[in-house]
C-alpha cells in the first residue's frame, strides 16, 4: 500500500473542514470567535418563554389538544436545526419553550396559530380613525385625502410587505404593491346578504352588552344601522357620534360584528391588530382585517389551511425571489378552483369588484385575500381559474419562506396561545457543568493515553495521535454544524463524546491484539501488519456500525438531551472510522518499516516479538 496517499487525503479533509469553519456558514468575528461551538441551554444559559392557551369562556383546553400543540411547536423549533430545545407542558394551559442563547427572534413566532384562510375581499376602506376623532376645522375640504395618505398604522405581513398569490404563468395572480386604499372608496361597498350575523354564544352576547353600555345606546344603535363605511369626505365631523368606539380595546372590538368593525370610522387598524389571537379564524362568518394601511372586509373562508397538502419554499427562477409553493389536496383543489372562478367571473356590480377597485384602481376581476392568523399576507386579483399549484409570493427571504412553509406543513395549532412571561436562564451553573464535563473528558483521554503508553509503548503513540486527530475532526464538525444546521452542544453531547473514547479504544485493542496473534503464528512484524489489518478491519467496522445504528435508533425514538447524546455518539464514531482508515492503518504501515518497531522494548509487542525473533541476543 501507499500510506502517504491516505495521509494526504486526511490532511486535505482537515484543510477543507477548517476552511469551512473559518470562512463558510456565516462565519464572522475574529478567528477565535469562529472556533466557538454553539452551546446549549444547560451550558450557557438562554431564554425561556411561556405560552398560555386561551379558550373561549376561559375553559381548560383538552389534554389531547395541548399534546398536539406541543408536538407542533417542537416541530417548528426543530425545523430551525438540531437545537435541542426543551418544549414541555406545564399545568393545564401552559407550554414552556427553552432555547439556548439569545433566542427572542426564534421564540416570538413559535406560538402563531398558523391558521391559513382564503377569503374574498368584499369591502375596502381607509383607516380613517385619526380623522374621525380629530376632524379639521379650518379647512373642511382637506380630510378627503388625509386618511388614505397617512394611515394610522400598517398591518404586519408575515415577512413580506406586499406579497401576492399566483399559479402557473398563464393563470397567475397579481396584487402586492398597490397603493393603500383611500378613506373614501370609489363606490361604497355594500354589505352582502351573506353577511348576516352568525349565532353568538351567551358569553359573547354578554360581552357585547357590556360594550354597548360603555359606548352608549345612541352610538350603538347608529353603528348597527350602518350598511357602508361613513363617508368623511362630505362631512368630516360625521365620525364624532362614534367617538367612544375609538376608546375600545382590542378585546372589546373583537366582540363587535364584522360590519361594525368595518363601517364605524373611529375603529382603526391599531385596535384591529390588538384583537386576541384567533380573532378571525371562524370560517363560517365574515371578518375584518387591515391591509396596506386600510381596512378590508373579508367574506367567509371556503378554502383553509387543511386543504393544502404540501407547502415548500422555492426560489423563483424568473424573478429571483423566494416564494412559497402550495399544493392542494384533491378536495382542496376543487374548493380553490371554485373560489377563483367566483372571483374571476364576478360582474362589475359585485361587492368584491367594487372592493378591488378601492384597493387597486382600475381592475378586471375580484381579489382573494390570503390570511394567516390575523394578517392579510396578500390580496391579489384573480386572473383566471386556478386549478394547479399556486404560490404565495412577496419580499420573502429563505428564512421567512421556510418558516411559513413549515407552519403550513406541520399544521395549525389546535389551541390559540397568548405570550406569557419570558425569562433569561443564568449560565453560572452551566459554566461549572461545562468545566466539569471538559475535565472529565480530559481525565478520560489522559487515562486512555497512560494505559496505551504503558501497555503498547510505541504503539501507544498511534493511539494518542489518533485520539487527537479524532478530537480535532469532531471539534471542527461541531463548530460547522452548530453554525449551519443549529447543532447545540449540551452536557449530554459531551457525555456522548466521552463514551466515544471507549469505542475508539476498542478498535485499537482489536487491531493490536490481532497483530500479536499474527506474529505469534510465526510471521514477521512487517508482514503481520497488513495481514492483521485485513483480519481486524471487518471486526472494527462491524463494532462501529453497531454503535452507529444504536445511536441512530436512539436519536429517532428520543427527544431533547437524549437525542443530543445519540447525535454526538454517532458523529464521533463515524469520524473515528475516518481516522482508522486514513491514519491508523497507514501510520502502522510506516512504523513497520522502522527499526524501533522490531525492538520488543520499544514497539510494545514485548514477549510475542521476542518469541518470534531468530536473533539469540534479542531472544
pLDDT digits (tens, 9 = 90+) for 420-430: 777 776 666 66
Q: Which of 342, 341, 328, 346 is nearest to 385 (CA)?
A: 341
User: Is residue 319 within 8 Å of residue 166, measured between CB atoms?
Assistant: no
pLDDT at 220 over 90: yes
- Alpha-carbon span 564 to 558, nearest angstrom: 9
Q: What is the DSSP string of 98-134?
A: EEESS-HHHHTTTT----EEEEEEEEEEE--HHHHHS
- Give me the pLDDT at residue 109, please: 65
Average pLDDT over residues 597-603: 63
Question: Grid coordinates standing for 235?
Answer: 362631512
Question: Grid coordinates standing for 387?
Answer: 386549478
Kindly report the CA angle at 443 between 588 and 510, in degrees rounded to 5? 30
CB atoms within 10 A of CB 227: 11
- Give me the pLDDT at residue 106, please: 60
Pick 210 or 37 by higher pLDDT.
210
Q: Does domain 46-110 have CATH number 3.90.230.10?
A: no
Contacting residues for 52 by C-beta, under 8 A, at least 6 apart: 93, 94, 417, 418, 419, 420
User: Is residue 110 within 8 Å of residue 403, measured between CB atoms?
Assistant: no
* Residue written as grid cell 426543530: 78
Average pLDDT over residues 109-135: 83
Beta strands in 156-286 (DSSP E): 164-166, 173-174
Q: Return the H-helix or E-strand segment holding 21.
A: helix 3-23
- Give me the pLDDT at residue 285, please: 92
Q: What's the alpha-carbon Rg for the chain, to the nearest Å?
A: 34
Average pLDDT over residues 115-121: 90
- Alpha-carbon span 137 to 149, nearest angstrom: 19
- Mean pLDDT of the chain, nearest integer: 78
Pick 607 or 524 by higher pLDDT.
524
What percent of the chain lies above the pLDDT cut of 90? 18
Q: What is the DSSP string of 69-82?
A: HHHHHHHHHHTT-S
pLDDT at 307 over 70: yes
- Give me the pLDDT at residue 198, please: 54
DSSP category for residue 571? H
* 116-409: CATH topology: Gyrase A; domain 2 (3.30.1360)
pLDDT classification of 57: cutoffs 50, 70, 90: low
Question: Grid coordinates standing for 309?
Answer: 397538502
Look at 66-70, 144-148, 201-205 and tell me which has the smallest mean pLDDT.
144-148
Question: 315 - beta bridge partners?
Answer: 322
> How long, in residues, is the chain?
619
Average pLDDT over residues 500-512: 79
CATH of 3-38+427-612, one of 2.60.40.1250, 1.10.10.60, 1.10.260.40, 1.20.1640.10: 1.20.1640.10
Look at 109-123, 128-142, 563-577 and tell me which has the smallest mean pLDDT.
128-142
- Give me the pLDDT at residue 263, please: 93
Q: Which of 477, 485, 493, 399 is nearest to 41 (CA)?
A: 493
- Alpha-carbon span 66 to 414, nearest angstrom: 8
User: Is residue 306 within 8 Å of residue 371, measured between CB atoms?
Assistant: no
Q: Which of 70, 137, 129 is nearest to 97 (CA)?
A: 70
Strand order, beta sheet including 46-54: 86-90, 94-100, 46-54, 416-425
Residue 22 phi, psi dihedral angles, 5° rounding: -85, -25
Give how far Cα 528 sits from Cα of 105, 370, 574, Å.
Answer: 60, 72, 27
pLDDT classification of 603: cutoffs 50, 70, 90: low
Domains of the chain: which residue ranges?
3-38+427-612, 46-110, 116-409
- Alpha-carbon span 216 to 218, nearest angstrom: 6
pLDDT at 133 over 60: yes
Average pLDDT over residues 464-469: 85
**What would the 3-class secondary structure string for 446-499 be?**
HHHHHHHHHHHCHHHHHHHHHHHHHHHHHHHHHHHHHHHCCCCECHHHHHHHHH
pTM for the model stands at 0.57
- Give me the pLDDT at residue 174, please: 36
* Residue written as grid cell 399544521: 411
Kindly report the CA angle at 16 between 13 and 18, in degrees rounded to 5? 105
* Residue written as grid cell 460547522: 480
3-state secondary structure of 85: coil
- Alpha-carbon span 157 to 147, nearest angstrom: 21
- Alpha-carbon span 303 to 328, nearest angstrom: 10
- Give me the pLDDT at residue 105, please: 58
- Give me the pLDDT at residue 393, please: 67
Q: What would the pLDDT profile of 353-377 be if each residue is shown by its tens digit?
A: 999 998 888 888 899 998 888 888 8
**For the CA atoms of 149, 155, 158, 159, what is the dihedral angle to 10 degrees?**
30
Question: 396 - beta bridge partners?
Answer: 322
- Give me the pLDDT at residue 457, please: 74
Amino acid at each position: 500500500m501507499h500510506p502517504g496517499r491516505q495521509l494526504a487525503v486526511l490532511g486535505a479533509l482537515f484543510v477543507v473542514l477548517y476552511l469551512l469553519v473559518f470562512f463558510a456558514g456565516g462565519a464572522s468575528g475574529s478567528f477565535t470567535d469562529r472556533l466557538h461551538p454553539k452551546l446549549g441551554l444547560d451550558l450557557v444559559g438562554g431564554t425561556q418563554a411561556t405560552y398560555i392557551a386561551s379558550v373561549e369562556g376561559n375553559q381548560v383546553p383538552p389534554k389531547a389538544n395541548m399534546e398536539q400543540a406541543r408536538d407542533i411547536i417542537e416541530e417548528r423549533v426543530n425545523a430551525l436545526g438540531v437545537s435541542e430545545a426543551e418544549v414541555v407542558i406545564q399545568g393545564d394551559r401552559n407550554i414552556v419553550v427553552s432555547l439556548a442563547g439569545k433566542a427572542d427572534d426564534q421564540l416570538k413566532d413559535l406560538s402563531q396559530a398558523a391558521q391559513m384562510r382564503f377569503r374574498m375581499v368584499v369591502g375596502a376602506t381607509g383607516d380613517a380613525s385619526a380623522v374621525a376623532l380629530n376632524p379639521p376645522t379650518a379647512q373642511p375640504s382637506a380630510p378627503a385625502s388625509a386618511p388614505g395618505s397617512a394611515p394610522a398604522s400598517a398591518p404586519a405581513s408575515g415577512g413580506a410587505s406586499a406579497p401576492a398569490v399566483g399559479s402557473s404563468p398563464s393563470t397567475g395572480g397579481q396584487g402586492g404593491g398597490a397603493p393603500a386604499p383611500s378613506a373614501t372608496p370609489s363606490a361604497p361597498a355594500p354589505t352582502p346578504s351573506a353577511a348576516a350575523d352568525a349565532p353568538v354564544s351567551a358569553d359573547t352576547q354578554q360581552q357585547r352588552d357590556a360594550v354597548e353600555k360603555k359606548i352608549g345606546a345612541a352610538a350603538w344603535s347608529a353603528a348597527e344601522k350602518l350598511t357602508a363605511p361613513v363617508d368623511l369626505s362630505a362631512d368630516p365631523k360625521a365620525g364624532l357620534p362614534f367617538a367612544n368606539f375609538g376608546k375600545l380595546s382590542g378585546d372589546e372590538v373583537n366582540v363587535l360584528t364584522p360590519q361594525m368593525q368595518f363601517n364605524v370610522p373611529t375603529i382603526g387598524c391599531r385596535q384591529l391588530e390588538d384583537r386576541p389571537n384567533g380573532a378571525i379564524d371562524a370560517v363560517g362568518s365574515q371578518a375584518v382585517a387591515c391591509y396596506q394601511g386600510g381596512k378590508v372586509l373579508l367574506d367567509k373562508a371556503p378554502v383553509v389551511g387543511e386543504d393544502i397538502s404540501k407547502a415548500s419554499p422555492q426560489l423563483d427562477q424568473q424573478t429571483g425571489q423566494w416564494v412559497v409553493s402550495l399544493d392542494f389536496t384533491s378536495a382542496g383543489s376543487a374548493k380553490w378552483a371554485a373560489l377563483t372562478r367566483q372571483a374571476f367571473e364576478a360582474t362589475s356590480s359585485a361587492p368584491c369588484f367594487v372592493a378591488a377597485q378601492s384597493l387597486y384602481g382600475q381592475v378586471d376581476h375580484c381579489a382573494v385575500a390570503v390570511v394567516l392568523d390575523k394578517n392579510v399576507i396578500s390580496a391579489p386579483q384573480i386572473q383566471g381559474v386556478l386549478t394547479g399549484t399556486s404560490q404565495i409570493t412577496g419580499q420573502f427571504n429563505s428564512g421567512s419562506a421556510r418558516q411559513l412553509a413549515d407552519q403550513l406543513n406541520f399544521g395549525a395549532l389546535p389551541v390559540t396561545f397568548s405570550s406569557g412571561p419570558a425569562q433569561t436562564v443564568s449560565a453560572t451553573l452551566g459554566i461549572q457543568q461545562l468545566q466539569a464535563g471538559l475535565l472529565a473528558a480530559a481525565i478520560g483521554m489522559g487515562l486512555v493515553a497512560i494505559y496505551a503508553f504503558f501497555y503498547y509503548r510505541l504503539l501507544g503513540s498511534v493511539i494518542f495521535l489518533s485520539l487527537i486527530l479524532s478530537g480535532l475532526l469532531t471539534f471542527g464538525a461541531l463548530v460547522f454544524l452548530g453554525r449551519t444546521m443549529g447543532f447545540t452542544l449540551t452536557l449530554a453531547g459531551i457525555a456522548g463524546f466521552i463514551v466515544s473514547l471507549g469505542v475508539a479504544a476498542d478498535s485499537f485493542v482489536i487491531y493490536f491484539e490481532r497483530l500479536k496473534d499474527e506474529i505469534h503464528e510465526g510471521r514477521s512484524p512487517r508482514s503481520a501488519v497488513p495481514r492483521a489489518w485485513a483480519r481486524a478491519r471487518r471486526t472494527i467496522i462491524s463494532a462501529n456500525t453497531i454503535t452507529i445504528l444504536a445511536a441512530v435508533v436512539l436519536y429517532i425514538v428520543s427527544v431533547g438531551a437524549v437525542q443530543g447524546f445519540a447525535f454526538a455518539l454517532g458523529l464521533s464514531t463515524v469520524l473515528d472510522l475516518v481516522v482508522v482508515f486514513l491514519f491508523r492503518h497507514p501510520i502502522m504501515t510506516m512504523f513497520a518499516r522502522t527499526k524501533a518497531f522490531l525492538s520488543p522494548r520499544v514497539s510494545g509487542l514485548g514477549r510475542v516479538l521476542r518469541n518470534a525473533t531468530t536473533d539469540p541476543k534479542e531472544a
